[in-house]
Amino acid sequence: MKADPSAQLKLLDLQSIDSQIDQLRHQKARPPQAAEVATLTARRTETAGWIRDQQIVVDDLAVVQKQADADVEQVKARRKRDQDRIDAGLIGNPKDLERMQHEMESLERRITTLEDEELEVMERLEEAQTGLSALTADLAEIDARLTELLAAQEAEQGDLDERIAAVEARRAPVAEQLPADLLALYEKLRASKNGVGAALLRARQCGGCMLTLDNLEIAHIRNRAADDVVRCEECSRILVRTDESGL
């Protein structure tokens, strides 16, 4: 393939622009916040699961406490009813009165036991509620940080989009100055050579694969016409010759 030396030099301009675009797209695809966002998102899912489990514990204990409260009140109501009967002199038979007094003592013991159980449930419920509050606070902190990170990421993504658009606007005028066959070869090589289709031959070194050409290859290139499109034997990229090539 042949191409005017000035067109070959334009390839370097196009390559520079394309490399800038690739770099910006690479930055956009890998935002600096991504790792922390992923970690926090995983933590959020885990914490939300713990909150659901802890809420079940709190709800169950609240039911148990409500029942414990009801049991205590029920026994206290029975004690009061019996005490009121005794105080009103409604128990005339001495044996019935003695039996009633024994029952009152039993009720007192039962109330003490129920109140101890009620207190234990209250303590467990308070502990569970404290744990739930701590988890909820953790979730709120995670959400706040995620909101901050995602806002920063969105702003940076918007900035990168603008920069990419600005560089892409410079590309078309340069590409239009290149012969169609040269541009097609360049695009094909770019697609298969990690984004680099053309490179400067500087001081006998290929700017694409960064390998130094041997003397035989340098001699071969030196004897090529100026409008010949030269390719690197190692990486197949287009080699653009200038006064810096060391030929």
Question: Is the separation of the CB atoms in 236 and 196 below 8 Å?
Answer: no
Three-state SS for 203-237 is CCEECCCCCECCHHHHHHHHCCCCCECEECCCCCC
Helix axes 180-192, 5-29, angle to 10 degrees: 40
Residues of the chain with CATH 1.10.287.1700: 31-171
Query: Over the range 114-135, which residues count as b (16 or more CB within 10 Å of their CB) and which as e?
Result: bbeebeebeeebeebbeebeeb
Q: Is 197 exposed, middle or buried (0-12, 13-18, 19+ CB in 10 A)?
A: buried
From CA 139, how far away is CA 78, in angstroms rounded? Answer: 47
Phi, psi of 223 (to 5 degrees): -85, -5
Pick one of 1.10.3430.10, 3.50.50.60, 1.10.287.1700, 3.40.50.300 as the CATH number of 31-171.
1.10.287.1700
The token duo for 216 is 């035989």
Per-residue pLDDT of the chain (247 residues; tens, 9 = 90+): 999 999 999 999 999 999 999 999 999 999 999 999 999 999 999 999 999 999 999 999 999 999 999 999 999 999 898 888 887 777 778 887 778 888 888 989 999 999 999 999 999 999 999 999 999 999 999 999 999 999 999 999 999 999 999 999 999 999 999 999 999 999 999 999 999 999 999 999 999 999 999 999 999 999 999 999 999 999 999 999 999 888 7
